[in-house]
Amino acid sequence: MNWHGPILTDSGGFQVFSQATSRRVDIDGVTIKSHIDGTMHRLTPEKAIAIQENLGADIIMALDECAPPHGREYIEQALLRTHTWAERCLAARTRQDQALFGIVQGGVYPDLRASSAEYIASLGFPGIAIGGLSVGESKAEMQVVLEVVDRILPRDKPRYLMGVGTPEDLINAVKHGIDIFDCVLPTRLARHNAAMTWQGRINLTNAAFTRDASPLDPTCDCYTCRNFSRAYLRHLVLAKEMLSATLLSIHNLHILIRLVRKIRQSILAGKFEEFAAKFFTESQVRRKT
């Protein structure tokens, strides 16, 4: 695909979660029905590792079961499978040039999250992911989970929070030692005609942008903001041109990357807490206006 930067692949755990009506999970793996042609496929920890080794990603993930956030009895069963599969993934790996991350699960239950964090950390993975968040739980429940695992996970290994990507969530997670994020939010917003700006989100279908010659965000230096106006982007949206989603994706990703750079700079300067406090204060002001 001609990308020469770092690559991270998932094991399929979230895809199994998203296909809840067309899959069967057991202690050995998952049988899942193709949404394309109805054929049945078998995914095991060993196969998940083999696929990711073949893809050659820099960071690969252990197969886990991303259970719904609530329902303790089922989550306990899913957690046993996740821990068993983590061991099998470690045993199945053949490449040492890839960083295999284990995944902490446990829903919204602090004791299950704590036991999972302790167990996954004990297996010696070079990095640890926190899965099963941003899948229906409240922000308060996410906060509790992050606080629990922060106290347990080793400080000398990277932490990856899966599927979380709003600016507020990024800053809050960094407070709890999170280093890596992934999220579909910037491109999903773009597909729904929305742009992230430092003043808040804007929707390009709004008639107020019909003749607005300004960029999406006057402080942004991304390709989209340097070359296209809000009015033109709105025209693309109304004309249902695919270019609108592309240009909005470029912009939204740039906003998040710039935010993370600012976070990193504030950490290096010893001013992260000050940066976070200012950001949340300004966010409250934006919501009120």
Mean pLDDT by 10 residues, the chain (289 residues): 92 80 89 88 96 96 94 96 98 97 98 98 98 93 97 97 93 96 95 94 97 96 98 98 98 96 97 95 71
Residues 6+ apart with CB under 8 A from 253: 186, 187
Q: Is residue 69 a contact partner of residue 137, using CB atoms and an 8 Å limit?
A: yes
**Could you tell me the domains of the chain?**
13-183 (3.20.20.105), 187-288 (no CATH)
Compute the distance between CA of residue 122 and CA of residue 116 in angstroms, rounded to an integer: 10
Rounded to the nearest 10°, the torsion over CA 123, 129, 134, 136 is -10
Residues β-bridged to residue 161: 130, 181
Compute the distance between CA of residue 113 and CA of residue 106 in angstroms, rounded to an integer: 5
Residues β-bridged to residue 160: 129, 180
Residues 6+ apart with CB under 8 A from 125: 62, 86, 90, 100, 101, 102, 157
Neighbour order of strands in the sheet with 23-26: 23-26, 29-33, 40-43
Compute the distance between CA of residue 161 and CA of residue 132 in angstroms, rounded to an integer: 9
Residues β-bridged to residue 26: 29
10 is catalytic: yes
Q: Note the pLDDT of residue 219.
A: 94
Tokens of 174: 């960094």
Compute the distance between CA of residue 134 and CA of residue 131 in angstroms, rounded to an integer: 9
Compute the distance between CA of residue 56 and CA of residue 51 in angstroms, rounded to an integer: 9
Q: Kindly name the residue from 10, 64, 169, 217 that is annotated as catalytic.
A: 10
Compute the distance between CA of residue 230 and CA of residue 213 in angstroms, rounded to an integer: 6
Q: How many CB atoms lie within 10 A of CB 23?
A: 17
pTM: 0.91
Task: Please report, for the chain, how many H helices and E strands are present, in that order.
Answer: 11, 10
Please, which contacts does 29-35 make with residues 24 or more away whose CB atoms are closer than 8 Å? 29/63, 29/85
Which secondary-structure segment (H or E) carries 271? none
Q: Kindly name the residue from 26, 28, 64, 182 that is annotated as catalytic.
A: 182
Compute the distance between CA of residue 6 and CA of residue 55 in angstroms, rounded to an integer: 12
Neighbour order of strands in the sheet with 59-61: 59-61, 99-104, 127-130, 159-162, 180-182
Q: Is residue 233 a contact partner of residue 248, using CB atoms and an 8 Å limit?
A: yes
